[in-house]
Amino acid sequence: MQSYRLTKILTNTTVYIILTVFALFMLFPFIFMFTTSLKEPQDTFRYPPRLLPREPITTFVEGFDEPLPLYYVEYEGKQQQFALAQDNIKIGVYADPNNPDVTYEREIREVRPTGGFTNQETIPIDGEEMDLFDIEVDGQVIPMIQVSQTALGRFVSVENPEVSVLQNVRLSQPVENLTAHPENYREVIELQGLDRSLINTTMVTVLVVIGQLATSVVGGYAFARLRFPGRDNIFLVYLGTLMIPFSVLIMPLYQLMVWIGWVDNMAALIVPWIFTAYGTFLMRQFFITIPREIEEAALIDGASRFQILWRIFLPASAPALATLGTFSFLYAWNSFFWPLVVINTGNVQNHVLTLSLNVLRGRASDSPNLILAGAAIAILPPLIIFILGQRFFVESVTSSGVKG
Amino acid sequence: MATVTATPGHQAQNTDAWLTIAVVWHALLCVASLGGTFWLWQTETIAGQSWLQTLLTVLLLLMAAASGLAAPLIIRRDHRGRVLSLVVNYLGFLVCFFGAWHVLGIFSGLNDLAGTFGRGIPFLFAVFIGYLVGAFGDRFEDNPAQQQLFQRIGRIIMLVAFVMFLFAIGLVQGLIAIAGRIDGPLPIALAVGSVLFATMIWVMWRQPAADAMNANNSHTEMLNGYLFLSPNLLGFLVFFAGPLLFSLYISFTDSDAFSTPNWVGFDNYADILNMSIAQLDAPNQPFSEVMDVSTYSEMTRFNFFGQNIVIGAEDRLFWLALRNTIVFVLVAVPLSVIPALFLSNLLNSKIPGMKFFRAVYFIPSIAAVVGIALIWQLLFNATIGYINYFIATGIEFTNQILGTAIADPQIRWLSDSRTALLSVIIIVAWQTMGFNTVLFLAGLQNIPKDLYEAATVDGAGSWAQFWRITLPMLAPTTFFVVTMTTIQAMQVFDHIFILMNPPAGPNNSTLSMVLYLYQKGFQRFEQGYASAIAWVLFIFIFALTFLRFQRERASAYEG
């Protein structure tokens, strides 16, 4: 009994570990999107990459007008936070020609040539004349040659600006803290007119969802409950079309839009999409499960077909309506191919979100934070709706015509 | 059924008068349609659009025939006359009504509506809140007074919010603008037409007319059926079935979407599929020596039992796109189905938190493909991307643990022609895996539990149970999942279009069938050719589905 329980705990732990790893795999791109959308542009180009947005800290130091960035600096054997007071100071590395292994670093502009500026002394080394400079070491002036040049930054102590250390800026570790730049969202909205695209997408989605629900409900009711010649054949044709790829339709549909004059118009994004064979099929499948008796009683009482549909079928079909509504919502919100074809790149006014993102991708290629802020604007609304209506979403998929 | 208020004799007289008007109306309509057909073949206004001329002629002649038939049938009080009359008037009404919408610019007004729609969104939320208030009332099922109160408040909120929404989006200004456009003869004619057709529908539809035309219950049911199906069916015909046939037509033409297409027969299909095989004298013999390079370009050369063979194709890119699509399907479908099967079996064990994981796995499939491709573009970045970082970290870790010296491959995912397609495959597999998991889970939960209990009693281990019970019982779901994933994978476009720059990828390595179709149809506007490609793709999808379906049926009967 003991070993059975142990095996069970071990199995469950393994299951949880695997499930969590996959969950992280599924979620990581979204977490990455969200955190990157809050970063500064230069923070997005770091290697190794970091998930959370960070920003160098700056501080005011006495004697300086501008705030100075803080860095970690080795001073008196301890790591301390110093402010970068001056960058790009030219430093010469000097060595005694007789003892070239010991080098000294001095600021170039403070070093004087041996013998004065006009007639600097030189020394031949390996057949080449090298300039000599006066370098003071422990109070003693020694003529030395310049071995190499470098640029360093001068870091000063925040408490006592007199204390300073020279150090390579590029190799120094800046002091950073966690930040967030939600203004990226405002910036990308202004850059690409995403507010208008968001409204366009919302409008298209609302109208397509309402239209699909309306046509599917009445069509589904007709298929499920009303007998008329040709009903079953028409239904078979509907079923057959579920398999036809959209790419077959896209050219003739485009030509139809050209002919009607809807190219570049929002109408082209809405009107052709409110008729759906899939939705009609879904509603029909749901309606045939509703018992006939209620309906027949209502018919005897003199109710019209429309009243029956409105008062009996609709209230009973909330799950099916939610399923169809979510599918048509996602379809309308996320569609890209058709808008790409039918709305021209120049017509920014009528761009939906996906189209704007496509343009933004080229325009803001040097600021991934803005691109991902745009992506977040497109992804977050369905995500929020998904979290709110999670029950409907997942349950609906499990019931959408898949009979195990 | 209807409450009778007037004296029966008076009402019958009244109905007879209306039916006489209907007969006259249909006679006029028949003459007008014939006249319209005649005018159509005289006028030059739609010259050059022969298919449109044909279509309109057919429609007008149908209308003339239907009207001509309806009139005598109504005189004889035959119910078929009522049906014909209703159909003709209904269609006539729709054409006039939406024609008037079109002429008055209501459809193009949707563009302006988008400009003001933003102001209305808060009111839409208020409508939603009203709905929630009404729905909240359902919690008081044992207290009808309270329930009704909530429902009434909810309804009032919804109504007020909706009216405010209409005002906010500029309904008044829109109506004024539309009213200002009713000046030419066409909008007025269409408006009058709508009213006339609507009146005739009312004349024929109402109960006295039905009684006079000897309608019974099944007639009423039939008319209701057609009426309820009509929005869907007409939309389906106009925006689906019609374009489908038209697509087949333009695949036999050199259509460019704007000018008059010329019939070219099977030329498009021949160009797409045309191939040639030749034998080479030496493995490195130039292609131009064995084939006409003005027609063919080299696709591949290989050694076949010591003979050097070269294959050339007229449209090399099509075959390349086909190959890429097939490779894509063959790799992406197993990658998104097998892990899903595995995960769903893990999730199916009765453990707490299963619903949480199920929801998390579902998230990628609801997100916009465009957004997802943008995210993965950064993850795949060769120098700063997370994927190479994870690989580098993993290799470093392995090297430290095992003391090996594996070099960091530094894969240039998107710009290397060997990995570009793989990158797309990874994204698609990632996105569809969770959806498939949820589908499999639904299938698993339908398997009867006693099967497993019996197997456990018989001493079958969990591995044997998986192979002997789970997989066979899950076969219908597997069939559905594999078919759907395959059909979707064959049409891959959005992912590639956003991820790759240029979309065809390095060395055309991510050129898919639909992407090629897009390039042909909407960048070069060779729409006839592109339609032919679309039909070839459709035939592939159909054959695939059909084959799988046959196999599925065969195995179902065996089992």
Q: Do A196 and B114 touch (CB under 8 A)?
A: yes
Residues 6 or more apart from B553 whose CB is under 8 A from it?
none
Q: Does A241 touch chain B (CB under 8 A)?
A: yes
pLDDT of A404: 30
Considering the domain architecture, whether residues B305 and B341 belong to the same structural domain is answered as: no
Considering only residues B8 and B171, tell me which one the structure prediction assigns the higher pLDDT.
Answer: B171
Query: How far, in Å, CA of A113 to CA of A188, rounded?
Result: 55
Q: What is the pLDDT of residue A76?
A: 80
Evaluate whether B348 touches B445 at the Cβ level (below 8 Å).
yes
B228, B367, B441: residue with CB nearest A226:
B228
B500 and B371 co-located in one domain: yes
B234, B383: one domain = no
Q: Are A142 and A96 in contact (CB under 8 A)?
A: yes
Cα(B195)–Cα(B106) distance, integer angstroms: 18
> In whole angstroms, what is the distance from residue A266 CA to residue B109 CA?
9
Burial class (CB in 10 A: 0-12, 13-18, 19+), B508: middle
pLDDT tens-digit map of B339-363: 999 999 888 877 788 888 888 998 9
pLDDT of residue B110: 85
B257 touches chain A (CB under 8 A): yes
The helix or strand, by DSSP H or E, that contains position B303, with its residue range, turns out to be: strand B297-304
Based on the fold, state whether residues B124 and B233 are members of the same structural domain: no
For residue B433, which of B297, B299, B342 has the smallest C-alpha distance? B342
Per DSSP, the three-state class of B77 is coil
DSSP conformation class of B407: P
> Would an 8 Å CB–CB cutoff place B427 in contact with chain A?
no
Q: Is there a single domain that holds both residue B236 and residue B306?
A: no
Mean pLDDT of B517-537: 92
Q: With an 8 Å Cβ cutoff, are B222 and A228 in contact?
A: yes
Q: Classify residue B74: in a domain, yes or no.
A: yes
CA-based R_g, chain A, Å: 36
Non-local (6+) Cβ contacts of A375 within 8 A are A33, A37, A357, B368, B370, B371, B372, B374, B375
Residues B42 and B76 in one domain: yes
Q: Which of B375, B438, B526, B531 to mutate to test binding with chain A, by most A CBs within 10 Å of its CB?
A: B375
Please report whether residue B259 resides in a domain: no
Find the DSSP H helices in B5-143.
Answer: 8-42, 50-75, 79-103, 109-136
C-alpha–C-alpha distance, residues A255 and B255, integer Å: 10
pLDDT of residue B304: 80
- What does the pLDDT read at residue A70? 86
Orientation of helix A368-388 relative to helix B369-379, angle to 10°: 130
DSSP per residue, B235-291: HHIIIIIHHHHHHHHHTTB---SSS---B-TTHHHHHHH-EEEEEESSTT--GGGTS
Q: In chain B, whose CA is at the least distance from the CA of A367?
A: B378
Decide if B256 contacts B526 (C-beta within 8 A): yes
Residues B537 and B461 in one domain: yes
* Chain B nearest C-alpha distance from A52 (Å): 13
Residues A265, A200: Cα–Cα separation, whole Å: 11
Q: With contact defined as beta carbons under 8 Å apart, do B274 and B558 qualify?
A: no
Average pLDDT on B239-248 reads 91
Q: Which residues of A touch B124 (CB under 8 A)?
A: 206
Per-residue pLDDT of chain A (404 residues; tens, 9 = 90+): 567 888 888 888 888 999 999 999 999 999 999 999 999 888 888 888 888 888 888 888 887 888 888 888 888 878 888 888 888 888 888 888 888 788 888 888 778 888 777 777 788 877 777 888 888 887 788 888 888 888 888 888 888 888 888 888 777 888 888 888 899 999 999 988 899 999 999 999 999 999 999 999 999 999 998 999 899 999 999 888 887 888 899 999 999 998 888 999 999 999 999 998 889 998 998 898 888 888 888 888 888 888 889 888 888 888 888 888 888 888 899 999 999 999 987 788 889 999 999 999 888 888 899 999 999 999 998 888 888 766 666 666 665 544 33
Is residue B62 assigned to a domain?
yes
| A:93-152 residues touching chain B, CB 8 A cutoff | none
Residues B398 and B541 in one domain: yes
For A58, which DSSP code?
E
Q: Is the ipTM here above 0.85?
A: yes
Domain-located, residue B487: yes
Question: CA–CA separation, A250 vs A261, rounded Å?
Answer: 16
Q: What percent of chain B has pLDDT over 90?
A: 35
Token couple for B559? 């089992």
User: Are β-strands A68-75 and A173-174 bridged in parallel, bridged antiparallel, or unpaired?
Assistant: antiparallel
Number of domains in chain B: 5
Helix then strand then coil, % of chain B, to nearest 5: 75, 5, 20
CA distances from B85 to B26, B93, B229 (A): 8, 12, 18
B526 plus B409 within the same structural domain: yes
User: Does B269 fall in a domain?
Assistant: no
Contacts of B107 in chain A (CB under 8 A): 262, 265, 267, 271
Token duo for residue A244:
């036809």
Chain-chain contact of A280 with B107 (C-beta, under 8 angstroms): no
Domain that holds residue B14: 10-104+199-214
Q: Which chain A residues touch B99 with a CB distance below 8 Å? A: none
Co-location of B445 and B530 in the same domain? yes
> Which positions 370-399 of B are in contact with A (Cβ < 8 Å)?
370-372, 374-379, 383-386, 389
Query: Which of B250, B367, B369 is opposite residue A251, by nearest beta carbon?
Result: B250
pLDDT of residue B559: 41
The pLDDT value recorded for residue B2 is 45
Residue B257 belongs to a domain? no
Instruction: Using DSSP bridges, classify how beta strands B307-313 and A78-96 pair: parallel, antiparallel or unpaired.
Output: unpaired
pLDDT tens digits for range B251-262: 999 888 777 788
Contact A35, A367 (CB under 8 A): no
CA B215, CA B80: separation in Å to the nearest integer?
9
Phi, psi values for residue A364, rounded to 5°: -110, 35
* Cα dihedral B223/B224/B225/B226 (nearest 10): 50
Q: What rounded mean pLDDT belongs to chain B?
A: 87
pLDDT of B4 reads: 44
Do B50 and B153 fall within a single domain?
Answer: no
Cα–Cα distance measured from residue A55 to residue A1, given in angstroms and rounded to the nearest whole number: 56
Q: What is the pLDDT of residues B263-275, one digit of tens each?
A: 888 999 998 888 8
Report chain A's terminal Cα–Cα distance, integer Å: 36
pLDDT at A185: 93
Task: Please identify among residues 263-302 of chain B the ones whose CB lies closer than 8 Å to any CB of chain A.
Answer: none
Mean pLDDT of B59-85: 89
Q: What is the mean pLDDT of residues B413-432?
A: 93
Q: Minimal Cα–Cα distance from A167 to chain B, Å?
A: 26
